[in-house]
Amino acid sequence: MPAARSYVICGTPRSGSTLLCDLLESTGIAGRPASYFRSQSIPKWGRRLNVPIAEDALRPDFDRSYIDAVVIEGRGRTDVFGFRLMWESVDALSMRLDGLFPGLKDDHARFESAFGPILFIHLSRTDKVSQAVSRVKAMQTGLWHVASDGTERERTSPAQDAVYDRHYIAKYVEELKAQDQAWTDWFVDNRVEPVRLTYEALSRDPKGALVDILSALGLDPAIAAAIEPKTTKMSDFESQNWVSRFRAETDPLPI
């Protein structure tokens, strides 16, 4: 089997994918991974990459031009193309690729037709309650990422206070569980054995996780020693209190 010259980070929201994308890009040899195929972001990327957006964004002529531009961007002047893909974007990407490469048996074949031999990285978060709390707080406060020096890195709305909502958290716990299971089923259906990485392992030892991925890509793992994270954990005392409160309110009482 030829060595992978592309990779996809298969994740769910608040699983550490931004940290992992940063680490890989910072190596200077592993591309510039980003969410190029998130439906809401395609118009922005299309403008940034000088790809004209057609009225019907599923037209093969647009898709071919867009994918060609994304592959160049996602390589970042390296030999490796990388991108991030959340479960919610899989069907839309599969539909686009099927229009360009009709008649293939599954998504794996479509991905390889578009991107060449590809490494799949399954990034998941074991603690779904903490993951759901992180997502709820980000959506409420508008603050999604903080840089390693403590400054705001990504904000999507004006600052506002977070408010504990057990039902809201429970909704995302179940949604995140379902999305992780969907990824697991997709790997089985497509006969893919991914590199498996958890948020917990990544946040505990980012350089060690980077070594494993670079090695899987056939790249020099020694480069990981010089790479420092650009983002920091956002979990705080309030987050921990929410997690404890949610578990106390939802875990069954002992008999």
The CATH number given to whatever domain includes residue 26 is 3.40.50.300
Q: Do the domain assignments include residue 165?
A: no
Whole-angstrom CA distances from 13 to 18, 221, 243 are: 10, 27, 17
Which positions ≥6 away from 19 have C-beta within 8 Å?
Answer: 202, 203, 206, 229, 230, 231
Q: Do the domain assignments include residue 156?
A: no
Decide if 38 contacts 89 (C-beta within 8 A).
yes
Q: Do the domain assignments include residue 219?
A: yes
Q: Which residue has the higher pLDDT, 53 or 242?
A: 242
Predicted TM-score of the model (pTM): 0.91
Total domains in the fold of the chain: 1
Mean pLDDT within 190-212: 97
Which positions ≥6 away from 143 have C-beta within 8 Å?
Answer: 152, 154, 155, 159, 234
Question: What is the share, in percent, of the chain residues with pLDDT greater than 90?
Answer: 78
Q: What is the pLDDT of residue 158?
A: 86
Mean pLDDT within 141-147: 81
Please state the φ and ψ torsions of residue 84, each to the nearest 5 degrees. Answer: -105, 140
Q: Do the domain assignments include residue 173?
A: no
Question: Is the pLDDT at 123 greater than 50, yes or no?
Answer: yes
The per-residue pLDDT for range 25-49, each reduced to its tens digit, is: 999 999 999 999 999 999 899 999 9
- DSSP class of 70: H
DSSP 28-65: SSS-----TT-GGGHHHHHHHTT-PPPSSTT-HHHHHH
Q: Residue 27's CB: how many other CB atoms inside 10 A?
A: 21
Q: Do the domain assignments include residue 109?
A: yes
Q: Do the domain assignments include residue 113?
A: yes
Which positions ≥6 away from 45 have C-beta within 8 Å?
Answer: 36, 51, 66, 70, 73
Residue 5, helix vs strand vs coil: coil
Q: How confident is the model at residue 95 (pLDDT cuts 50, 70, 90)?
A: very high
Give the domain extent around 71. 6-126+180-232
Q: Do the domain assignments include residue 147?
A: no
Mean pLDDT within 107-114: 98
Which positions ≥6 away from 17 have C-beta within 8 Å?
Answer: 9, 11, 84, 86, 123
Q: Do the domain assignments include residue 151?
A: no
Query: Residue length, the chain?
Result: 255
CA–CA separation, 236 and 134 (whole Å): 10
Q: Which residue has the higher pLDDT, 237 or 82?
A: 82
